[in-house]
Amino acid sequence: MRKTDWWKNAVVYQIYPKSFQDSNSDGIGDLKGIINRLDYLKRLGINVIWLCPVYQSPMDDGGYDISDYYHINPMFGSDEDMDELIQKADKMGIKILMDLVVNHTSDEHEWFQKALKDPDSKYADYYIFKETADGNPPNNWRSYFGEPAWTKIEGTNRFYLHEFSKKQPDLNWENQSLREEIYRMVNYWLDKGLAGFRIDAIGNIKKRLEFKTFQPDGEDGLRYIGDWVLNQPGIEIFLQELTEKTFRPHNSMTVAEANVPEELLNLFIGDLGFFSMVFDFSYTDIDVPATGEWFRPKAFTPEELKKTIFESQRMVQEKGWGALYLENHDQNRSVNKYIPEKDIGYHSKTMLASLFFFLRGTPFIYQGQEIGMENIRMDSIEDYDDIATRGQYKRAVNAGFDKKTAFDIVAKRSRDNSRTPMQWDSGKNAGFSNAEHTWLKVNPNYKDINAADQEFSDSVLKFYRKLIHLRRDSKYSNIIINGEFLPYETEDPCVIAYQRIILNERLLVIHNFQNIKSYIRIPGKNTEAVIGNYTGNYHQSNTCQELYQLSPYECIALYLNT
Ligand code: NOJ
């Protein structure tokens, strides 16, 4: 049994280090920059930071291509800076999670370099190599970033497998000595006082290798790789071993980036599950087809969003505990995804905040979400750094989209939308850096959207602070953290309402997901308004307000004690 599920009380803040705060004026965020901003995070009220990868890396995929697991990328600072961050944060009551990327390494990792040099070395079996007689790839799988998943080693008929970029060769988890190397590395970090990990692509570590030409599913003659590498039978053996040899003895918080089907959820997050929680992609990828082709976006309605969120809550609640999020470094900004452009503003932003924050699970806020940062629109595809954006653009053009349309669609969904520098104030580079050029453009809207200006009333930032305070340290904390989730039926499909219940206490959270008025029936007596984004609309009262009129994009949480 787990000792204590301390992470249930946590509110996590995700930092994309390259874009959070630059301390040495090179246009790139760094660890000292994060240390300098700990006060801001403390004041926000969060108590856990998830740090995207800061290990040594050629940065082909934003650091998810690690060339040395034991050392910090000089771009972000030194190994000592990392120790300092862990210690200083700890003193302030903030724990740190790092990103654990063990489905693949960088091709510049010494294991891969040794494997290339000597096909008979033990390192050759740390990866997945396949030689073919005719020099053609072993099969026609398409990697997640759009290129073929096998890359040929020059001058040979030998290929290696990579589910992501060709600079990210997949590790071979079947090899026991590789697994032991991984466990040693994980324990090295945990022993330093790290609270745990967000674990990258962990559902992909078991592969079902088949060598033949599959029926293509795209104009490129390739076939989406997911069906052979996601949640494959046998993965549970690796995950069990990983957790027993590393996380469990440390009582770590572990968040698996793994879209787990319902029938496997118990193994992942049940009482004796491998992880503390998993990220569910269903409502953040609601606009993306199952094959991950953003360039063919899927339309959806607030009603579909409601169903998807409720279904996710039901599944997770039956089995264990969940991670709540609307944004991360792989998503575009949530307001641009869920809200029509003309309606984006204080009310829609705070409504989204309330929508995910009162659900059952541990909330994750992505940097800039708490000030309502929005998508950026860059001028041309060359301005985008993200490898996935470039891949999707290329595929869209190959599929027959004209360049302008391809660009428009891809720009809207680009991962760089959330990777632009944090907007701290209205000064140079939004207070992110003193450099002449930042590594990625600052969103030109920083004069209107920045943290410093939001110290005034009715700001998105203040709303987030209040939400965090309510969850972590208020008379409602118990119900917000531990209450059972229950959908609340509404007549208007665009009103999303749900309840959290403990014994005779009830929290009813209501969201009017549209720019017109609506109404809702309020049950029970003795209602108390906990938080809302139209101050004064709801009259705190001891009587049951049968029909409550909702303003456009209004959210309100009511506490009922019956
Ligand atoms: C998921 C990470 O969040 C994403 O940024 C990365 O590109 C892939 N995994 C590959 O590591």
Average pLDDT, the chain: 96
Encode pLDDT of 517-550 as tens digits. 999 998 876 789 999 999 766 655 545 557 889 9
**Active-site residue set:** 200, 257
User: Among 18, 44, 30, which Cα is nearest to 329's?
Assistant: 18
Q: What is the dihedral of CA 389, 391, 396, 400, to 10 degrees?
A: 150
What is the predicted pLDDT for the residue at 299? Answer: 96
- The closest residue, in CA terms, to atom 4 on ligand 1 is 330
Q: Say which residues have a Cβ less than 8 Å from residue 484's Cβ, sequence separation at least 6.
A: 317, 360, 500, 501, 502
Q: Which of 57, 64, 416 to mutate to test the pocket of ligand 1 (most atoms within 8 A of CB)?
A: 64
- Give pairs for 307-315: CB < 8 Å, separation 24+: 308/282, 308/283, 309/283, 309/355, 309/356, 309/359, 309/496, 310/487, 310/498, 311/282, 312/280, 312/282, 312/283, 313/359, 313/360, 313/361, 313/485, 313/498, 314/485, 315/262, 315/265, 315/280
Condensed to tens digits (0 to 9), the pLDDT of residues 259-281 reads 899 999 999 999 999 999 999 99
Q: How many whole angstroms from 560 Cα to the centroid of ligand 1?
A: 42
200 vs 457, more confident = 200
User: Percent of the chain beyond pLDDT 90?
Assistant: 94
**Distance from C-alpha of 169 to C-alpha of 161, rounded to nearest angstrom:** 6
**pLDDT (mean) for 284-306:** 95
d(CA 86, CA 88): 6
Confidence band (pLDDT; 50, 70, 90) for 291? confident
- Beta-bridge partner residues of 529: 558
pLDDT (tens digit per residue) in 132-163? 999 999 999 999 999 999 999 999 999 999 99
The whole-number pLDDT of residue 456 equals 83
Q: Is the per-residue pLDDT at 2 higher than 80? A: no
Query: Ligand 1: which of 104, 164, 327 to mutate, most ligand atoms within 8 Å of CB?
Result: 164
**pLDDT of residue 419 exceeding 90:** yes
- Is the CB of 370 within 6 Å of ligand 1? no
Q: Is the CB–ligand 1 distance for residue 101 below 6 Å?
A: yes
Rounded distance between C-alpha atoms, residue 163 and residue 172, angstroms:
12
CA of 526 to the centre of ligand 1 (A): 47
SS3 helix, strand, coil % of the chain, rounded to 5? 35, 20, 45
- Token pair, residue 14, equals 């995700």
In this structure, which residue's CA is closest to atom 11 in ligand 1? 64
Residue 3 has a pLDDT of 46
Among 58-62, 116-120, 558-562, the least confident range: 558-562
CA of 200 to the centre of ligand 1 (A): 6
d(CA 229, CA 252): 26
The reported pLDDT for the residue numbered 547 is: 85
> How confident is the model over 460-505, as pLDDT tens digits?
999 999 999 999 999 999 999 999 999 999 999 999 999 999 999 9
Nearest atom within ligand 1 for CA of residue 62: 5
What pLDDT shows up at residue 542?
45
* 512-521: burial string, b at 16+ Cβ within 10 Å, e else: bbbbeebebe
Q: Encoding tokens for residue 17?
A: 């280090």
Residue 30 beta carbon below 6 angstroms from any ligand 1 atom: no
Residue 189's nearest CA partner among 305, 284, 306, 72 is 72
| The ligand 1 atom nearest the CA atom of 103 | 11
Tokens of 289: 């087809």
Angle between helices 302-319 and 262-269 (to 10 degrees): 50
Ligand 1 atom 6: the closest Cα is on which residue? 64
